[in-house]
């Protein structure tokens, strides 16, 4: 009984499961069918969309292909037109080349014909020349070289005779007219330029308030006067002249500085070595200022406006420079004025002559410490500071050291000669005296270790200051002996010259 129940239950359970599986199979089959239908519908929709897109793309591609084809056809047409035009140009060019070639051939033929005719004519001329030459030689019984020499001698003789006659005539007329015209111009220039002639001397007199001041100037054991002479490079002469002392020095700039310093010291009353050096430095600056003002005034007096300050400053130094006793700054202004008048009469460049006349002796302001002649030194200095090349040439050539390149240079030379040749303008002895003093200083300065040297006592003494670090006492004695020996060998002078070598060591400190 129990087993039958179990069997029945099992059969029922199996049947139930079978029915459920069948139902599940039917439901799955329907679901798959619907799913396939949906997928088919989606695929159909995708295919329709793809076909529509393909049609659109195809239409666009066809439009683009049509545009490309059209553009290609247009480009081909354009290229064909260009090729056609190029072919036409090439055809014309070939035609032109053919025409030119034909012309050149015709011209070559013509030239060949002319060349043949010329060659023929040349041959005929050479034959005729040979025949005539042979005939002349036969008649004259002379060779070609002999005939040439005879003809040249006759021609030279006649030419020289005619030339000499013409030259004498022209020279006579030119000399008479030139002398008359030159006399008029020079006389007019000299009359219109009234410049003073300043003959500088080598001494300056300083007036004293009383005789006691001489003792203060000399100082205890001569300390003050030695310090002053050594620092200023001058010779102070204290003699029996009442209430006056004399400052002697061949260098006018040093003498002027010393005179101003001594005047100031006398008024100030403080005369001792330390104060003397300070006053000399101050007066040196004053003199330099005076030199600048003198250069500016000279340029103003001469009517020369465009000059650089460096040139004016160097020009002002001529205020204290003399040549044969003639003040060089006054001489420069006078030459400028004389030259400008002569240039105006001759139609030359007046401004160039003015500037060249004013600067022609500029080198004399620096020839004492520069090698070369004053003309070349001055020309080089002017060239360095941008002066007109015509002016530079006139400066360099006024003593014929180089060739004169313009009429203005000749005028400057003439004005210089006129200024120096006027009566009383120069004095030969002073110039020789200054040269001798400068030669003494040059000999002393040529020795190693010399710091400064001064020719004093009217050239009867050379005072040499040496650097104590370079020269010891024995070397100082040697320098004194060697300088004296060189002076004896190289110079001529009356009497004797004293050589004094000073070696001074200073110790300086400051109280703080």
Domain span at residue 445 reads 432-503
d(CA 236, CA 263): 13
Q: What is the mean pLDDT of residues 48-56?
A: 84
Under the banding of pLDDT at 50, 70 and 90, the label for residue 464 is very high
Provide the pLDDT for residue 174: 61
Q: Does residue 158 form part of some domain?
A: no
d(CA 242, CA 263): 16
Poorest-pLDDT segment among 296-300, 322-326, 473-477 = 322-326
pLDDT digit string (tens) for 195-246? 444 444 556 788 888 888 888 888 888 888 888 888 888 888 888 778 888 8
250: domain CATH number is: 3.30.1370.10
Provide the pLDDT for residue 1: 57
Backbone dihedral region of 46: left (phi > 0), alpha (psi from -120 to 50 degrees) or beta? alpha
- Final residue belonging to a domain, choices 115, 137, 167: 115
- Both 285 and 412 in one domain: the answer is yes
Q: What is the mean pLDDT of residues 291-307?
A: 85
Q: Does residue 262 form part of some domain?
A: yes
- Please state the pTM of the whole predicted model: 0.45
pLDDT digit string (tens) for 88-146? 888 888 888 888 888 888 888 888 888 888 888 888 888 888 887 777 666 666 666 77
Q: Does residue 373 form part of some domain?
A: yes
Short-list 347, 345, 339, 341, CA closest to 409 = 339
- Both 289 and 422 in one domain: the answer is yes
Percent of the chain at pLDDT > 90 equals 4
Q: Does residue 156 form part of some domain?
A: no
Q: Does residue 163 form part of some domain?
A: no
| Structure token digits, residue 335 | 């030459």
- How many structural domains are present in the chain? 3
Q: What is the mean pLDDT of residues 190-195?
A: 49
If one compares 236 and 458, the residue with the highest pLDDT of the two is 236
Q: What is the mean pLDDT of residues 79-85?
A: 89
- Both 306 and 256 in one domain: the answer is yes
What secondary structure letter does DSSP report for 344?
H
d(CA 251, CA 322): 10
Q: Does residue 120 form part of some domain?
A: no
């Amino acid at each position: 009984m129990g087993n039958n129940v179990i069997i029945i239950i099992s059969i029922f359970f199996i049947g139930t499961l079978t029915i459920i599986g069948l139902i599940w199979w039917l439901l799955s089959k329907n679901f798959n069918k619907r799913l396939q239908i949906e997928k088919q519908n989606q695929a159909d929709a995708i295919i329709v969309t793809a076909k529509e897109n393909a049609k659109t793309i195809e239409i666009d591609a066809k439009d683009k292909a049509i545009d490309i084809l059209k553009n290609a056809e247009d480009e081909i047409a354009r290229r064909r037109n260009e090729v056609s035009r190029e072919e036409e140009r090439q055809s014309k060019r070939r035609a032109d080349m053919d025409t030119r070639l034909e012309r050149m051939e015709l011209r070559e033929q013509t030239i060949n014909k002319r060349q043949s005719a010329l060659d023929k004519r040349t041959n005929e001329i050479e034959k005729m020349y040979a025949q005539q030459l042979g005939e002349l030689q036969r008649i004259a019984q002379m060779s070609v070289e002999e005939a040439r020499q005879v003809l040249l001698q006759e021609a030279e003789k006649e030419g020289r005779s005619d030339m000499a006659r013409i030259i004498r005539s022209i020279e006579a007329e030119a000399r008479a007219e030139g002398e008359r015209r030159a006399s008029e111009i020079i006389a007019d220039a000299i009359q219109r330029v009234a410049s003073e002639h300043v003959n500088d001397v080598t001494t300056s007199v300083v007036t004293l308030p009383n005789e006691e001041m001489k003792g203060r100037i000399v100082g205890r054991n001569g300390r003050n006067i030695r310090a002053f002479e050594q620092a200023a490079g001058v010779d102070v002469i204290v003699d029996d002249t009442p209430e006056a002392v004399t400052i002697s020095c061949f260098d006018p700039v040093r003498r002027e500085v010393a005179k101003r310093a001594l005047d100031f010291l006398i008024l100030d009353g403080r005369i001792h070595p330390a104060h003397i050096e300070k006053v000399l430095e101050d007066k040196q600056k004053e003199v330099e200022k005076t030199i600048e003002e003198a250069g500016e005034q000279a340029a103003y007096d001469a009517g020369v406006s465009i000059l650089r300050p460096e040139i004016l400053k160097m020009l002002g130094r001529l205020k204290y420079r003399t040549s044969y006793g003639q003040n060089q700054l006054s001489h420069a202004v006078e030459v400028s004025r004389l030259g400008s008048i002569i240039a105006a009469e001759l139609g030359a460049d007046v401004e160039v002559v003015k500037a060249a006349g004013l600067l022609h002796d500029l080198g004399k302001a620096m020839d004492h410490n520069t090698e070369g002649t004053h003309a070349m030194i001055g020309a080089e200095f002017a060239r360095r500071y941008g002066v007109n090349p015509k002016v530079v040439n006139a400066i360099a050539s006024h003593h014929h050291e180089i060739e004169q390149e313009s009429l203005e240079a000749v005028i400057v030379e003439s004005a210089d000669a006129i200024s120096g040749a006027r009566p009383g303008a120069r004095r030969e002895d002073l110039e020789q005296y200054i040269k001798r003093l400068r030669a003494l200083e040059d000999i002393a300065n040529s020795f190693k270790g010399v710091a400064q040297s001064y020719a004093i006592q009217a050239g009867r003494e050379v005072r040499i200051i040496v650097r104590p670090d370079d020269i010891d006492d024995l070397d100082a004695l040697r320098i004194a002996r060697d300088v004296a020996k060189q002076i004896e060998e190289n110079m001529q002078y009356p009497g004797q010259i004293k050589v004094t070598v000073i070696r001074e060591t200073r110790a300086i400190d400051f109280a703080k």
